[in-house]
Chains A and B, each alone.
Chain A
């Protein structure tokens, strides 16, 4: 089961503000980022990965078409997921984050995004019951990675600091 990154278009942030947007006082604490998927081919979204920059809480909402005849509706997949335990300090401020499908109990994706037909939807949609075959394949992947690392060369240093016995140096470099 290979994973590829899905091309997506990330729009600029829009501040949610009450009243006149122009005033510089009253800085909004909530910003919205729109993400659209230009490709029309259906795919199964497994993971969302990003680098944080001082966002404390994250909510994800997805627009879902249930059937071709009813209008699309917005579904909340993740609400107030905490990225920074203390928003006034640096903890988590610039961390790399991954959000997985199984993390959200109601992490459903619109029909046009996921490939299988609704009746074949995997069990992660039901809270607390991950799909056994998916779990075992993920664990197998991890162990394959572990074995690969184990088989690779060790990282001990040999101890030489010179080059062929010579340690006659220029001045120190500024990189």
Chain B
């Protein structure tokens, strides 16, 4: 009992500390001061009256949504003796593997830098800055020579690293047993089996209505669709994040999706947010980064060639170039097993006061990265809002798809979940694919790493991403990959 109390105190303290630096805190303070003018606020019962005012005016709900958001994103405080790296990733061998993988990426980027004689970062001359500012909304028309650039890595390179992951304390033995894992992933992470998945995804059961199935033209809308839309509108009117997250498990009506996602991710476009985005844009104008060329190359190779997404090419540059400059993204490395690459100002090697992260947001894009942004362009057309939504999706979910960790939503667990489902419930298919040299994971890996973006029609994809938000988990991707092979 005592341990739970002290755990709760720690969680509360952590959330309070985080929220204290937020816009919401400043707004609440201003509102509290302003409310003193109101006749119903009495000095004798000041605290209670202000609390009541917050409840009626909807500010309490905003605070609830912010707290809910923190709880969804940040892991619970761990044991006081646990060092920060334990929070990033508890298993030592996984941390080591992630470190080696990162070193390879850095070496690759450094050699690209020296081979092409291009600096990692360069301040643009004024003329170039003006030019870029003028064509900010049509950067897609640019055709820079990107032939010498190559992506830093592709998903298949990453898969090879995951296949070679080994727990030094785990001995599989030479003899085959019912525990032998015949797939590519050889680390014994805990993954859900079908009964556990059924319980976790209970709202996806056959007896519960789903958008994407029960709203098809043959089904009369009175049976499910109309009521579901009505409830969605009510959830939006209440502005309750937790209710929205629960609601969206059954899928979101197209007309309500943009607002629902923004509510669940706790994104509201305040003037400060628009200003922040403009500041990022200024950073892009002022400095040219090597990473920008990687982004250009990626967009040209992937999204521009896609029938659904090529129209959004300009938006993608506007989001991804700004994303690279955003230092607020560095915060997510506290719970990401990855670490941001580090460098020093030229001539100040080793001096800590001249140490910087590169790129400023610490994320090096890989081949296909722009596909995380592309589907969002269907929902959001205002660049700063599109940007905020993507950033939140990245620091909540997408980062787990390209870092090595033991987290249940991490790509390693998703791969193992996929393989285990297949081996357990479709053993003949699994065995046959192995025999013909087509390990099923090699087929499905690229689907999962991209969260199926580019591999599903957009309406199907958005319904899938509804469930990622609804269940706050990426496990649906492994289940979807398994279903694809059924």
What per-residue 1/0 map shows which CB atoms of B142-174 lie under 8 Å from chain A? 000000000000000000000000010100000
| B342–A173 touching, CB < 8 Å | yes
Q: Are A157 and B9 in contact (CB under 8 A)?
A: no
A154 near B20 with CB under 8 A, answer yes
A172 contact set on B, CB distance < 8 A: 106, 109-110, 120, 341-343, 358
Q: Name the one of B9, B13, B179 contacting A88, with C-beta atoms under 8 angstroms.
A: B179
Q: Which of B2, B10, B358 contacts A100 (CB 8 A)?
A: B2
B189 contact from A89, A100, A150, A167, Cβ within 8 A: A89
Indicate with 1 or 0, residue by residue over B407-423, a CB within 8 angstroms of chain A CB atoms: 00000000000000000
- Cβ contact of B345, chosen from A54, A139, A168, cutoff 8 A: A168
Known: A93-B91, A94-B90, A159-B279. A150 touches B17 (CB 8 A): yes
| Interfacial chain B residues near A51, Cβ < 8 Å | 81
| A135-B189 in contact given A96-B79, A161-B360 (Cβ < 8 Å) | no
B23 to chain A, nearest CB (A): 10
**B218 part of interface (Cβ distance < 8 Å):** no
Binary CB contact string for chain A from 143 to 175 against chain B (1 if under 8 A, 0 otherwise): 101100110101111011111001111111111
Interface string of B88-124 (1 = CB under 8 A from A): 0011100000000001001101100110000111110
A98 to chain B, nearest CB (A): 6
Is B86 touching A96 in the complex (CB atoms < 8 A)?
yes
Instruction: Indicate if the CB atoms of B9 and A145 lie closer than 8 Å.
Output: yes
In the complex, whether B328 has a CB less than 8 A from a CB of chain A is: yes
B331 lies within 8 A of chain A by Cβ: yes
- Which residues of chain B in 312-343 are interfacial with respect to chain A, using CB atoms and an 8 Å cutoff? 325, 327-328, 330-331, 341-343
Establish whether residues A94 and B91, one from each chain, have CB atoms under 8 Å apart when the complex forms.
yes
Asked whether A163 lies within 8 Å of B353 as measured between CB atoms, the reply is: yes
**A157 touching B17 by the CB < 8 A rule?**
no
Assess whether B287 is in contact with A90, with CB atoms less than 8 Å apart. Answer: no
Is A97 close to B, CB under 8 A? yes
A37 within 8 A of B: no
Question: Is A86 located at the chain interface by the 8 A CB criterion?
Answer: yes
Query: Counting CB contacts under 8 A, is A95 at the interface?
Result: yes
B293 within 8 Å of A (CB atoms): no
B114 and A169 form a contact (CB under 8 A): no
Residues of B within 8 Å of A161, CB to CB, are 283, 325, 327, 356-357, 360
In the complex, A57 has a CB within 8 A of chain B = no
Measured CB to CB, the nearest residue on chain A to B83 is A96
The answer to the question of B208 belonging to the interface, with a C-beta cut-off of 8 Å to chain A, is no
A90→B356 contact, CB < 8 A = no
Q: B187: which A residues are within 8 A, CB to CB?
A: 90
- Interface set, chain B 16-38, CB cutoff 8 A to A: 16-18, 20-22
- Looking at the complex, which one of A154, A157, A166, A174 makes contact with B103 (CB distance below 8 Å)? A174
Is A138 in contact with B2, judged by CB distance below 8 angstroms?
yes
- Tell me the complex Cα distance, A109–B82, Å: 27
CB nearest to B330 among chain A residues: A157
A175 touches B342 (CB 8 A): yes
A90 touches B79 (CB 8 A): no
The interface on chain A, measured as residues whose beta carbon lies within 8 A of the other chain's beta carbons, has a size of 49
Q: Mark each residue of chain B from 68 to 82: 1 if its CB lies under 8 Å from any CB of chain A, else 0.
A: 000000000011011
- A142 CB within 8 Å of chain B: yes
Tell me the smallest distance from the CB of B119 to a CB of chain A, in Å: 7
* CB pair B327 A154 closer than 8 Å: no
A103-B3 Cα distance, complex, nearest whole Å: 9
Residue of B nearest to A150 (CB): B16
How near does chain B come to A153, taking the closest CB pair, in angstroms? 9
* B106-A90 in contact (CB<8A): no
Q: Is the CB of A149 within 8 A of B17?
A: yes
Within the assembled complex, what's the spacing in Å between the Cα atoms of A169 and B10? 40
In this assembly, does B307 line the interface, its C-beta being within 8 Å of a C-beta of chain A?
A: no
CA distance A124 to B343 in the complex (A): 54
Q: Which residues of B contact A175 (CB under 8 A)?
A: 342
Asked if A155 meets B91 with Cβ closer than 8 Å, knowing A102-B2, A169-B358, A170-B349, the reply is no
Determine if A173 and B82 form an interchain contact, defined as CB atoms under 8 angstroms apart. Answer: no
**Cα distance A145–B12 in the bound complex, in angstroms:** 11
Contact of B169 among A54, A86, A154 (CB under 8 A): A54
Q: Is the CB of B358 within 8 A of A145?
A: no
User: Which chain A residue lies CB-closest to B5?
Assistant: A139
Q: Is the CB of A156 within 8 A of B21?
A: yes
Question: A90 touches which one: B91, B328, B354 (CB < 8 A)?
Answer: B91
- The residue in chain A whose Cβ has the minimal distance to the Cβ of B17 is A149
Q: Is the CB of B81 within 8 A of A96?
A: yes
Q: How far is the CA of A54 from the CA of B167 in the complex (A)?
A: 11
Chain B minimum-CB-distance residue to A148: B13
Do the beta carbons of B120 and A171 come within 8 Å of each other? Answer: yes
| Closest residue of B by beta carbon distance from A50 | B81
Which residues from A are CB-within-8-Å of B90? 94-95
CA distance A121 to B18 in the complex (A): 42
Tell yes or no: A49 within 8 A of B by CB: yes
Extra contacts, 11 of them, besides A157-B330, A163-B345, A173-B341 (Cβ < 8 A), are A49-B81, A90-B91, A90-B189, A102-B2, A130-B2, A143-B9, A145-B10, A150-B17, A161-B357, A168-B346, A169-B121
Chain A residues with a Cβ under 8 A of chain B: 49, 51, 53-54, 85-86, 88-91, 93-98, 100, 102-103, 130, 135, 138-139, 142-143, 145-146, 149-150, 152, 154-157, 159-163, 166-175
Residues of B within 8 A of A (CB): 1-3, 5-6, 9-10, 12-14, 16-18, 20-22, 78-79, 81-82, 86, 90-92, 103, 106-107, 109-110, 113-114, 119-123, 167, 169, 179, 187-190, 276, 279, 283, 287, 325, 327-328, 330-331, 341-346, 349, 353-354, 356-358, 360, 406
26 contacts between A and B (CB under 8 A): A53-B169, A54-B169, A86-B190, A90-B167, A93-B91, A96-B81, A96-B82, A98-B81, A102-B2, A103-B3, A130-B1, A143-B9, A145-B10, A149-B16, A150-B13, A150-B20, A154-B17, A159-B327, A161-B356, A163-B345, A163-B356, A167-B287, A169-B120, A169-B358, A171-B113, A173-B341
Q: Can you list the 6 inter-chain pairs with the closest CB atoms, starting with the nearest? A: A161-B360, A156-B21, A154-B21, A96-B79, A89-B190, A149-B13
